[in-house]
Amino acid sequence: MSEALKLVDVWKIYRQGSTEYAVLKGVNLTVERGELLVVMGPSGSGKTTLLTIAGTLDRPSRGRVYIGGYDVTDLNEERLAEFRSTRVGFVFQSYNLLRNYTALENVMLPMIFSGRYTREEARKRAYELLKIIGLEEHAHKFPRQLSGGQQQRVAIARALANDPEIVLMDEPTGNLDVKSSAEVMGLVKWLNEVFGQTFMIVTHNPELAELASRVVYIRDGILYDEPPKNLLNIKIMEEICREDYAARLRETQIKLLRVRALSVKRLAKEGRISPDELAKEVELLRYKIRRIKARV
């Protein structure tokens, strides 16, 4: 089985009373082992919902979720938590490190919770993972003693603790400066190319797409292989081109210009604007009238 993750006709529908709102609409996605997939989308596009369902933190309203060839859609919560702890790694924008635990202890925790390692085995593995990310000298520091970039690298080491099938990353550079972002994403690229670790990253940052082996796009809960057209611009142009809408705007603008012309005339009579200001106001009014006539 070469598929790390497979989503089949996944929908996520929220209900408020009798109203339904679809956040994901029939998403089909396959992430092959060894891929570094980037899912691009603006805020509100459904990309975080996609990530949480892919990581089994949430369930689809319809559709199936496969991780490493296993259908996890109908697993009960206990089985799902056990499966997730060993098969899926998570890296979030806000690091989510436990502040009262050292870097080493934060990386150890997933291994201890999985029940697959003794504390000593977890300590050895955690230290080696910290060496991989270049932070072995900071193993006994607490998160508050680390920079943002260092904390995110610890979060990556923690995500790798149980050799997951896939690591899911939600805006991993969102809280980082340019230098730290480059260090973190350089590490991700290296882990992907050298270790063959599979990553799925959701982001609105186009710079991350340059590192990907494949990029897909999400807009309004629908997944695209190519960048979708700017739907907002299309809707705006459709609205502008509607004859009733255009006629109403023209009528309103004419009324506004009439009021402004009367105001300018009154101010000129009262001597409250100079001849130069009056000439500029008249020219502006004429310009706007010409624009309206040109659109008729």
The string of pLDDT tens digits covering residues 60-96 is 999 999 999 999 999 999 999 999 998 999 999 888 9
Question: CB atoms < 10 A from the CB of 280, how many?
Answer: 13
In this predicted structure, what is the pLDDT of residue 249? Answer: 72
pTM: 0.77
Would you state the pLDDT for residue 243? 63
Q: Report how far residue 127's alpha carbon sits from residue 196's, in angstroms, rounded to the nearest whole number.
A: 20
Question: Which is more confident, 161 or 252?
Answer: 161
Q: Are strands 222-224 and 88-91 parallel, antiparallel or unpaired?
A: unpaired
Please check the confidence at residue 236 and state whether its pLDDT lies above 70: no
pLDDT in tens, 179-218: 999 999 999 999 999 889 999 999 988 888 888 999 999 9
What is the predicted pLDDT for the residue at 202? 94
Beta strand 222-224 pairing with 214-219: antiparallel
Using CA atoms in the order 29, 129, 156, 122, what is the torsion angle rounded to 10 degrees?
A: 90
pLDDT at 295: 64
- What residues does each domain of the chain span? 3-228, 234-295
Residue 73 to residue 205: CA distance in whole angstroms? 30
Q: How many angstroms separate the CA atoms of 234 and 225, rounded?
A: 20
Q: Is the pLDDT of residue 139 over 80?
A: yes
CATH number of 3-228: 3.40.50.300
pLDDT band at 272 (very low <50, low <70, confident <90, very high): confident
Residue 18: band (very low, low, confident or very high) from pLDDT cuts 50, 70, 90: confident
Q: Cα separations (Å) of 149 from 82, 88, 280?
A: 29, 22, 55
The CA distance from 220 to 64, in Å, is 20
Distance, in Å, from the CA atom of 99 to the CA atom of 105, rounded to the nearest integer, reads: 10
Highest mean pLDDT pick, 99-108, 216-225, 239-248, 265-274: 99-108
Whether 113 contacts 147, CB under 8 Å:
no
Predicted local distance difference test score (pLDDT) of residue 251: 80
